[in-house]
């Protein structure tokens, strides 16, 4: 695998993993009632997802311009990290919203 392809794969894996980690941290903050920190962690997760998405978009743009990207296990693994991170972030957003709602009901 050449250096450019490895950079793409590692960008997907690194930013996807960082996004998932931030989303997990957001859930932990919310469980502790630290909703401002949870929201900040979600912002960080979204930034990491943007970075990963930028890597993916660059790859798709090159593909559209006729520069074919070979699909191998590394690329599949990188895409898998990204998709799992997106799903995990989406679930974190929903869980945190529910935790905020429960807290609001408990305070009544």
* 43: its two tokens: 């912002």
CATH number for the segment(s) 3-106: 1.20.58.80
Q: Which of 15, 53, 68, 77 is catalytic?
A: 77
Contact, 18 vs 48, CB < 8 A? yes
Contact, 35 vs 101, CB < 8 A? no
Per DSSP, 68 falls in state: P
Q: What residues are designated binding site for Mg(2+)?
A: 80
Q: What is the pTM of this model?
A: 0.90
Write the pLDDT tens digit of every residue in 26-39.
Answer: 999 999 999 999 99
Q: Does position 46 have pLDDT exceeding 90, yes or no? A: yes
Q: Could you tell me the residue ranges of all domains in the chain?
A: 3-106
Q: Does position 4 have pLDDT exceeding 90, yes or no? A: no
Q: What residues are designated binding site?
A: 80
Tokens 């502790």 sit at which residue?
32
Picking from 57, 44, 38, the residue whose alpha carbon sits closest to that of residue 96 is: 38
Tokens 């960008």 sit at which residue?
11
* 107: its two tokens: 């305070």
Write the pLDDT tens digit of every residue in 78-95.
Answer: 999 999 999 999 999 999
More confident of the two residues 96 and 67: 96
* 81: its two tokens: 């990290």
Is 77 a known active-site residue?
Answer: yes
């Amino acid at each position: 695998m050449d250096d450019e392809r490895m950079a793409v794969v590692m960008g997907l894996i690194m930013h996807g993993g960082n996004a998932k980690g931030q989303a997990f941290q957001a859930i932990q903050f919310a469980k502790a009632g630290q909703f401002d920190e949870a929201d900040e962690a979600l912002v960080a997760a979204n930034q990491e997802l943007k970075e990963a998405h930028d890597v993916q978009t660059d790859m798709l743009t090159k593909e559209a311009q006729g520069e074919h990207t070979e699909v191998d296990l590394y690329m599949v693994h990188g895409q898998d990290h990204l998709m799992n991170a997106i799903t995990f972030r989406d679930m974190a957003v929903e869980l945190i919203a529910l935790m905020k709602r429960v807290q609001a009901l408990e305070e009544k």
